[in-house]
Amino acid sequence: MPHETPLIATVAIGFVIAFIFGFCASRLRMPPLIGYLLAGVAVGPFTPGFVADAGLAAQLAEIGVILLMFGVGLHFSAADLLAVRWIALPGAIGQIGVATLMGVGVAYLWGWSLGAGIVFGLCLSVASTVVLLKALEERNAVNGVNGRIAVGWLIVEDLAMVLALVLLPAFAEALGGQGGDAGHGAAAAGSIWLDLGLTLGKVAAFVAIALLLGPRVVPWLLAQVARTGSRELFTLSVLAIALGIAFGSAALFGVSFALGAFFAGVVLNESDFSQKAAHESMPLQDAFSVLFFVSVGMLFDPMVLLRDPLSVLVVLAIIMLGKSLIAAAMVLALGYPLGTALTVSSSLAQIGEFSFILAGLGIALGLLPPEGRDLILAGALFSITLNPLVFLGSDWLTRRFAPEEGEVRGAARLRSLERELMKAHLRTEARDAERVLKARELAESFPMFASLDPQGMQDLLHTFRHRTANPGARLIRRGDRADTVFFIAAGQVEVAVAGRKIRLGPGEHFGEMALMSGEPRSADVTAVDYCQFFTLDRRDFRRFIAQHPEIRTVVEATAAARRQMNEEKAAAGA
């Protein structure tokens, strides 16, 4: 090749190989993501042939995680997260603790240090949000109560892993890894507690800013972008918000990219642009999430299956049986039904992105031996591949044992949670219904807009500015420069032009003639009583009629009729 293009080569080969393997997996009635993982193995450094740049692939995959978590936030409001806190918070923390102890025990039997066991156990305790979302989407269960519990559970896990990533360097020396001067034990202990306090403070500050300041700034910013009428600029603004908040949260608060992107979506979910933002970002979410699975496959060394098959089976048993049974037991102990317990346990029967990050940090700190990373990657590859079968098994168990008495008792707790989630859902529906009602009222009030499609109507509602006028207020003065067109929502105005006076009322508009011709105003317009208007400035008006030729035709016809009437009146007066 005449030029070095590792980025283009990685993206191109990654997509092509992922498509081929994914298509073959689909034809074999297997989930396409299995094909994506095998595609990563095929282009990884441990197999012959083309070797993609693993570093670039990992960074591209991180973008996929960011966009996917952003999409989750767009469909998972803060009210939903708070609604499931009483099951997600104690359940996730308890499950992480027990699963980590299982990893420590296995590491002890292998002769590893305590620090290696803790890192190893943490890696096995946290599931992949990316894999969970793919599984729930395929089952159409993201918005169901069990799906929301599972997502909330994994969000709590992600928060716990953020804390672990920050604290591991501080505890590295005490756990037998690389650290600072051993002669300053008291100072080191003080530093550990200081790091803990700073971490909790940063996370709390980020969440507070995201949930308090974000709903005021982000919707306003998108409203300004929507007024430009540029689709590509709106898409760019959505990506800038998702990636910008994700990067800013990591740089300023030490929060993971994924968690920052999730809260960016939560913030945007409360605005009128959530549906449009989700629609515009979906193709990029799908494309980059494929690269995530390819990058995971690239890290896998198939020879570990021959070197240490028994250890791989032990790791897989902890991931798919150990922590899943723990999670199911905790859900049942909290009073929820078997179906919920099986959904949550199935969701946790795999590991993913945070496991790889933790393993890399453990190796860098001298805590985790290299073979630990190989075992974690093997466990991730096989658990992700087998996860769809786990969900099928949970479906069978749910159908088989749902009528049991314990299920009926647990269902009461689940119905209580469903009511809380339903309240949040109804608030969202009420907001959407209000938008639809405004669009319908606009079409009824101004028949000229009745031909607009729903998206065009929403764009117009976002572009309109609201204005009021008291009786006697002069709205337009003859000879002024034209800068606004008025649509009357309530009240009446008097138009003085060509020696006559005309009254206009609700559903009519004025001020468009001078905007279209570029000439000074030719009439005086005064409010007769208390009036309410929708207005468009010069740029918004010209952009809107350019995008909607049918509206332009109506406006031009109205302007031509008024111009002819004025000319006839002037000729008669002469």
* Cβ-based neighbour number of residue 227 at 10 Å: 19
Angstrom CA distances, 500 to 173, 497, 503, 513, 567, stand at: 90, 6, 10, 17, 12
3-state secondary structure of 139: coil
- Domains in the chain with CATH codes: 56-177+187-411 (1.20.1530.20), 464-573 (2.60.120.10)
* DSSP secondary structure string for all residues of 387-445: HHHHHHHHHHHHHHHTTSHHHHHHHHHHHHHHHHHHHHHHHHHHHHHHHHHHHHHHHHH
Radius of gyration from C-alpha coordinates of the chain: 30
Q: Which residues contact 384 (CB under 8 A, 6 or more apart)?
A: 33, 34, 37, 128, 131, 293, 296, 350, 352
* 350, 318 contact by CB (below 8 A): no
Annotate 321-333 with DSSP letters as a single string: IIHHHHHHHHHHH
**Do 280 and 274 contact (CB within 8 A), yes or no?**
no
Cα–Cα distance for residue pair 418/146, rounded to 1 Å: 9
Q: What pLDDT, on the 0 to 100 scale, is given for residue 187?
A: 47
Q: Could you say which residues of the chain have pLDDT below 70?
A: 1-4, 75-80, 166, 170, 177-193, 195-196, 199, 227, 229, 270-275, 402-415, 422-444, 455, 566-574
Q: Residue 184: what pLDDT?
A: 43
- Model pLDDT, residue 186: 46
CA 341 to chain centre: 25
**What tokens appear for 569 in the block?**
């009146």
Among all chains, which residue has been given the structure tokens 């600029």? 233
pLDDT of residue 76: 63
Bridge partners, 102 (sequence order): none
Residue 529 · residue 493 · CB < 8 Å: no
pLDDT of residue 267: 78
**pLDDT recorded at residue 185:** 45
Reported as a single tens digit per residue, the pLDDT across 198-214 is 767 777 787 788 777 77
Copy the structure tokens of residue 100: 């980590």
Q: How far is CA 455 from CA 273, 358, 450, 543, 557, in A?
A: 11, 44, 12, 15, 24
Of 104, 106, 107, the C-alpha closest to 118 is: 104
CA distance 84 to 445: 43
Structure tokens at 342: 């099986």
Q: Give me the residues paired with residue 534 across strands.
A: 466, 487
Burial of 327 (0-12, 13-18, 19+ CB in 10 A): buried
Residue 271 DSSP class: S
Question: In the chain, what is the straight-line distance between the N-terminal and C-terminal CA atoms, in Å?
Answer: 81
For residue 336, the model assigns a pLDDT of 84
Q: What would the DSSP string read from start to end of 343-371?
A: HHHHHTS---HHHHHHHHHHHHTT-S-HH
pLDDT at 86: 85
CB neighbours of residue 272 within 10 Å: 18
